[in-house]
């Protein structure tokens, strides 16, 4: 299977770019992921396919997950695409962000997450609505062209692997004969994937993500082609590093709990890579709070942390 990599610059600060991979084997064509939402990336992918003499209508788009830097072409072009069933409802974020307002308000109330913190998240969805062309009158049809695939299914020679954690229906695409996997955001070469607890996600995203990493360790993999950053040639070592990172962070979160605390109080005590919680930008604060919550949920599932609701707000104790 021939692999062509396209590097697409992102209009956000981090990550800097997305990788899209064109796979070619005789008459079989597939593209892993679809770039950032909007015209720009979709056009780049389309012209790269033309350059390689690959017909767009014979190409299968395999989408790792629903996030804004991966689904572009699914929303923008009439293509045949494949996603996990748990991801498809989230496509509504781009066409009808208000649909998610209520679950987010409930989430912020239950965990006492200041609505001010959520503003960047909400305006992000609002602006993404503009980016997919909603406000410019471009008609968006998604469901009709998105086909559902689940763990273990085969798309030609490619095996679908369910890799939840970063998002509930995250998929990786595996070529067993070549020891190659296209892992989306699960394993990145330099940074650690963000895993947060969000409305509509599983109740234990960190647990899911760690199980996913262990599942990858058990597979025969020589090369990981991630959706951001560089290609990973020594996958087992990198996966072990990531598992160690999550384990250490879990202990840190546990040690930060003193008495009965709300998520935000725990998040303030954690040492973030950008510095203290107050040093984070508004978007970073949202990610930090949801990540702290995800670790608290993991500790709670392990019985190491207790949750108690006080006046409708969840507090955590050890």
Footprint on this chain of Zn ion (rule: CB under 5 A): 69, 185
Angle made by CA atoms 69, 241, 262, in degrees to the nearest 5:
70
Nearest distance, CB of residue 34 and Zn ion, angstroms:
12
User: Could you give phi then psi for residue 202, rounded to 5 degrees?
Assistant: -70, 165
C-alpha 26 chain-centroid distance: 31
What gap in Å lies between CA 99 and CA 212, rounded to an integer?
29
For Zn ion, which is the closer residue by CB, 66 or 315? Answer: 66
Nearby residues of 142 by Cβ (< 8 Å), 6 or more positions away = 74, 75, 91, 95
Nearest distance, CB of residue 255 and Zn ion, angstroms:
30
Q: What distances in angstroms separate CA 280 from CA 92, 111, 276, 286, 295, one per listed residue?
A: 28, 20, 7, 9, 19
For Zn ion, which is the closer residue by CB, 184 or 235? Answer: 184
For Zn ion, which is the closer residue by CB, 16 or 114? Answer: 16
For Zn ion, which is the closer residue by CB, 69 or 208? Answer: 69
Nearest distance, CB of residue 208 and Zn ion, angstroms:
17
For Zn ion, which is the closer residue by CB, 19 or 108? Answer: 19
For Zn ion, which is the closer residue by CB, 17 or 122? Answer: 17
Calculate Rg over the CA atoms of the chain.
Answer: 20
- Judged by DSSP in three states, 104 sits in helix
For Zn ion, which is the closer residue by CB, 86 or 264? Answer: 86
What gap in Å lies between CA 50 and CA 77, rounded to an integer?
15
Nearest distance, CB of residue 155 and Zn ion, angstroms:
21
Nearest distance, CB of residue 310 and Zn ion, angstroms:
36
For the chain, give the longest Cα–Cα distance: 63
Nearest distance, CB of residue 170 and Zn ion, angstroms:
10
What gap in Å lies between CA 190 and CA 306, rounded to an integer?
34
Nearest distance, CB of residue 302 and Zn ion, angstroms:
28
Residue 83, exposed/middle/buried by CB under 10 A (0-12, 13-18, 19+)? buried
């Amino acid at each position: 299977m021939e692999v062509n990599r396209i590097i697409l610059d992102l209009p956000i600060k981090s990550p800097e770019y997305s990788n899209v991979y064109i796979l070619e084997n005789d008459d079989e064509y597939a593209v892993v992921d679809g770039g950032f939402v909007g015209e720009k990336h979709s056009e780049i992918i389309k012209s790269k396919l033309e350059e390689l003499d690959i017909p767009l209508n014979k190409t299968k788009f395999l989408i790792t997950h629903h996030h804004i830097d991966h689904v572009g072409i699914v929303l923008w072009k009439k293509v045949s695409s494949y996603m996990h069933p748990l991801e498809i409802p989230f496509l509504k974020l781009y066409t009808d962000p208000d649909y998610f307002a209520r679950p987010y308000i409930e989430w912020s109330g239950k965990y006492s997450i200041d609505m001010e913190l959520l503003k960047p998240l909400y305006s992000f969805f609002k602006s993404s609505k503009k980016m997919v062309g909603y406000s410019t009158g471009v008609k968006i049809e998604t469901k009709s062209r998105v086909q559902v695939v689940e763990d273990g299914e085969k798309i030609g020679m490619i095996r679908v692997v369910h890799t939840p954690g970063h998002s509930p229906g995250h998929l990786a695409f595996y070529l067993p004969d070549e020891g190659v996997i296209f892992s989306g955001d699960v394993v990145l070469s330099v940074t650690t994937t963000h895993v947060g607890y969000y409305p509509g996600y599983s109740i234990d995203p960190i647990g899911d993500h760690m199980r996913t990493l262990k599942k990858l360790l058990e597979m025969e993999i020589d090369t990981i082609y991630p959706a951001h950053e560089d290609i990973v040639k020594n996958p087992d070592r990198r996966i072990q590093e990531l598992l160690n990172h999550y384990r250490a962070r879990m202990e840190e979160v546990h040690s930060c709990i003193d008495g009965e605390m709300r998520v935000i109080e725990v998040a303030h005590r954690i040492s973030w890579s950008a510095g203290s919680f107050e040093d984070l930008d508004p978007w970073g604060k949202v990610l930090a709070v949801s990540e702290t919550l995800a670790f608290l949920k993991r500790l709670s599932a392990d019985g190491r942390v207790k949750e108690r609701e006080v006046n409708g707000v969840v507090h955590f104790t050890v």
